[in-house]
Amino acid sequence: MEAKKKMVSEIRYMAKLLEPYIDIDIVLNNANGISKHVPIGTAEYIAVVRAWWSSLLAMAELIDGQKEIVTGAQKDYILRELCGAMGSFSDFQLDANISGTKASKTNQKLNKARKKLYDILVFPSN
């Protein structure tokens, strides 16, 4: 059960890191100060950030809400979706050109959290 708590905590942490980037007005204010120039692709970018944010929250809630231990199939799914190859959350990076300079630091935190989640999933006794 301890590994489950750590897993849920890390997934929620990643969602919390993305939260400042899900509102287009906040993103534009952070990136451009008072300028209202909207970089091409901003709406699509925000949609992707929101999709990952909501997926992380849903995943954490579903895992946390189940009384049983996390199954091997569930761990495999989480690994594929969040720590896998192309198209997974590990492939996602915030765009500093759209989200502002804080995005780079957030990307570093996300990378550390993804590594920690991977370790929890693959090496649960550590």
State the pLDDT at residue 89: 94
pLDDT along the chain (126 residues), means of 10: 88 96 70 56 86 96 91 91 88 87 93 94 77
Q: CA 71, CA 3: separation in Å to the nearest integer? A: 12
At residue 11, the pLDDT reads: 97
Predicted confidence at residue 38, as pLDDT, reads: 60
pLDDT score of 68:
87
Say what the pLDDT of residue 101 is. 83
Q: Residue 56: which of 104, 95, 89 has the closest Cα?
A: 89
Phi, psi of 67 (to 5 degrees): -80, -30
Residue 74 near residue 67, CB atoms below 8 Å? no
Confidence at residue 98, expressed as pLDDT on a 0 to 100 scale: 81
Q: Give me 17's structure tokens.
A: 């890191």
Specify the pLDDT at position 27.
Answer: 60
Amino acid at 46: I
Spatial separation of the C-alpha atoms in residues 43 and 29, rounded to whole Å: 14
Distance CA 11, CA 8 (A): 5
Q: Residue 29's pLDDT is what?
A: 62
pTM check: above 0.75? yes
